[in-house]
Amino acid sequence: MRTWVLGVGLMLGLLGGTAEAQNWPVVPLPTTADLHEIDAGFSNRYVVGDGGFVAVSDGGLVNWAQVDIGTSADLLDVVRQASSEVWITGTAGTTRVLRFGVWEPRDIPNSGEDFVIFSRSSGWAFSAGSNGSIYRSTDLGVTWDLQTSGTANAIHDGNGFVDNQAYSVGDNGTILKTTNGGLDWVQKPSGTTADLHAFIDASTGVIMAAGENGTILRSTDGGESWNAVASGTTATIYDLSASQQNGLFVLAVGENGTVLKSTDNGASWCLIQSETAVDLYACDMALNSTFLVAGAGGYMAVTTNDGGGCADPAGFDDMVDASGSGGLNAGVRMAGPWPLPLGHDSHVQLSADRSQRVRVDVLDAAGRVVESLLDAEVAAEHPRSVRFDAASWPAGVYFIRAISEGGVVSKKVVALR
C-alpha cells in the first residue's frame, strides 16, 4: 500500500485557529478526478473517485492521505463495516475489500456493469449495478451470488441488512425492498419516473430517496408508500447524509453546487449557499452545522458554521435553477454574456420578477470566488447590466453566479487567450 499525506496549512482555522472569512474553505486534494462518495464510519473517512482515486482522513475533515488500492478503475462507492473492513466498488465490476490492512481484489466476475455497494452487516454486502443486477456476498466478496432484482434499471444507492431488510433505488423511480436477505426484491410504488440517486435511513421510522429534478421522497411506513417533499430545486440530487449528532438533521447535495438542509427529518428543506457551481456528488454531515462536500474535478470543501446558514428559508418554494437556461425558477433571470468572445468590456443582464437584493460573483472551475461583481438591489421589470473585465482572468472555465432572495442562477463561461 502506498500512502502519502497532504499538506493542508490553509485549513488551520477550521478547528479553532484563525482563518480567512469564508463559509466553505476548499480542502486541497491531489486529483482532478470526479469524487463520487464519502464514507464517514468509525474514526476516519474515505473518499473515492475516478481513476482509482482513494483517500483516507486522519479522523478529522481536512487532513487526507492518498491510498493505492491496486486499480485505476473509476470508483463509485465506499462503505465501512468495521474499523478494519472497507468495501469499494466501481466500473466493470471492480471491487476491493480492505481486511486487516490489506486491500484484496474481490471483483464481481463476468460483469461489465458499474456497481455501488451497501450493507449494514459486517463481512456481508449487496452490490448493485447499472443494468439492475444485485449481487450478494456473505464471505467478504470472495464469492458473489446473483439475486433476482426484477429490474433492468440502473441502481444507484441502497442500504440495509444483508440477512434481513434492505432497500435499493435507481433510474425511472425504481425503489426495491427485500425482507428476506435478497431472496426476493419487491418494487414499491414511488410515484415518480425521476432517476433516483440517493437513499438514506435518516432516523427511526423515516427513510428517504432523492434524485433527478430535485425529487425528494419520504416514507414513514418502511418503504411501502412514498410521498414527495418540496425541495425547492430542480437540480439533480446525488447524495444524502444524516447528522452524526442528531438524526433529524439531513443534508442533500447535487448539481451546480446545490446544498440543501433539513432539520425535521426531511419534511422541509432550505438552501445553503455553497459558494461553488461545481456538481456535488457526495456529502458527509459530521455534525449539525459541520459538513463535508465533494464532487466534480476533485473539489472538496468543508464548513463548520452551517455554510453560512439557510438562504431565505421562509420563501423557499422556487429557489434554485441549475439548468443554466437563465433561471426562470429563481425569480431572477440572467442573460448573456456579451460580447463573445469575452473581453475587457463584457456584461450579463439581470432581470427580476420582484425587486430584491442580488449578489453576483465569478467563480473558477474549482468553485472559488475570484471576483465580486454586484451586491445591490435589482428593481422589478428594470433589467440591470453587470459589467466585468474577462480579459484579466486566466484562460479557463468560470461560472457567473447570481444569488438572490429567490435562489441561485449561474452561467458557465469560458475565457480564452
Mean pLDDT, residues 138-147 taken together: 95
Mean pLDDT, residues 386-410 taken together: 82
- Read off the C-alpha cell for 360: 453576483
Residues 6+ apart with CB under 8 A from 202: 208, 240, 242, 247, 248, 250, 265, 266
With a cut of 90, say whether residue 333 has pLDDT above it: no
The Cβ of residue 21 has, within 10 Å, a number of other Cβ atoms equal to: 5
Q: Between 210 and 334, where is the model more confident?
A: 210
Confidence of residue 150 (pLDDT cuts 50, 70, 90): very high
- The predicted-structure confidence for 269-313, as pLDDT tens digits, reads as follows 998 988 899 999 999 998 889 999 999 999 999 999 999 888 643
Mean pLDDT, residues 40-53 taken together: 88
With a cut of 90, say whether residue 62 has pLDDT above it: no
- The rounded distance, in Å, linking the Cα atoms of 24 and 17 is 15
Mean pLDDT, residues 143-172 taken together: 95
Mean pLDDT, residues 36-63 taken together: 90
pLDDT of residue 254: 97
Q: Between 397 and 70, where is the model more confident?
A: 70
Mean pLDDT, residues 397-402 taken together: 84
Where do the domains of the chain lie, and which CATH numbers do they carry?
Answer: 3-315 (2.130.10.10), 332-415 (2.60.40.2550)
Mean pLDDT, residues 321-329 taken together: 36
- The rounded distance, in Å, linking the Cα atoms of 169 and 13 is 39
Look at residues 81, 109, 80, 85 and name the one whose alpha carbon lies nearest to residue 95: 109
- The rounded distance, in Å, linking the Cα atoms of 293 and 395 is 26
With a cut of 50, say whether residue 316 has pLDDT above it: no
pLDDT of residue 309: 82
Confidence of residue 251 (pLDDT cuts 50, 70, 90): very high
With a cut of 80, say whether residue 409 has pLDDT above it: no
- The rounded distance, in Å, linking the Cα atoms of 194 and 215 is 7
- The predicted-structure confidence for 13-27, as pLDDT tens digits, reads as follows 333 332 333 789 999
Confidence of residue 241 (pLDDT cuts 50, 70, 90): very high
CB 92 within 8 A of CB 127: no
With a cut of 60, say whether residue 200 has pLDDT above it: yes
What is the pTM assigned to this prediction? 0.74
pLDDT of residue 320: 35
- The rounded distance, in Å, linking the Cα atoms of 83 and 99 is 9
- Read off the C-alpha cell for 204: 427511526
Whole-Å CA distances, 48 to 52, 89, 271, 293: 7, 9, 26, 12
CB 155 within 8 A of CB 132: yes
pLDDT of residue 66: 97
- The rounded distance, in Å, linking the Cα atoms of 16 and 18 is 7
Asked whether the bond before 109 is cis by omega within 30 degrees of 0, the reply is no
Confidence of residue 367 (pLDDT cuts 50, 70, 90): low
pLDDT of residue 245: 79
pLDDT of residue 373: 92
Most confident range (mean pLDDT) of 168-182, 269-283, 310-324, 359-373 is 168-182
Q: What is the 3-state secondary structure (H, E, C) of the chain?
A: CCEEECCCHHHHHHHCCCCCCCCCCECCCCCCCCEEEEECCCCCCEEEEHHHCEEEECCCCCCEEEECCCCCCCEEEEEEEECCEEEEEEHHHCEEEEECCEEEECCCCCCCCCEEEECCCCCCEEEEECCCCEEEECCCCCCCEECCCCCCCCEEEEEECCCCCEEEEEHHHCEEEECCCCCCCEECCCCCCCCEEEEEEEECCEEEEEEHHHCEEEECCCCCCCEEECCCECCCEEEEEECCCCCCCEEEEEHHHCEEEECCCCCCCEEECCCCCCCEEEEEEEECCEEEEEEHHHCEEEECCHHHCECCHHHCCCCECCCCCCCCCCCEEEEEEECCCCCCCEEEEEEECCCEEEEEEEEECCCCEEEEEEEEEECECCCEEEEECHHHCCCEEEEEEEEECCEEEEEEEEECC
Mean pLDDT, residues 319-334 taken together: 48
pLDDT of residue 113: 95
The Cβ of residue 329 has, within 10 Å, a number of other Cβ atoms equal to: 24
- Read off the C-alpha cell for 286: 459530521
- Looking at this protein, which amino acid is placed at residue 216? I
- The rounded distance, in Å, linking the Cα atoms of 209 and 389 is 43
- The predicted-structure confidence for 99-133, as pLDDT tens digits, reads as follows 988 999 999 988 899 999 998 888 999 999 999 99
With a cut of 70, say whether residue 322 has pLDDT above it: no
CB 168 within 8 A of CB 143: no
Whole-Å CA distances, 65 to 14, 19, 84: 18, 23, 17
- Looking at this protein, which amino acid is placed at residue 224? E
With a cut of 50, say whether residue 168 has pLDDT above it: yes
Partnered with residue 277 across adjacent β-strands are none
pLDDT of residue 315: 33
CB 137 within 8 A of CB 143: yes
- Calculate the dihedral angle through the C-alpha atoms of 370, 376, 379, 380, rounding to the nearest 10 degrees: 50
* Mean of all residue pLDDT scores within the chain: 85
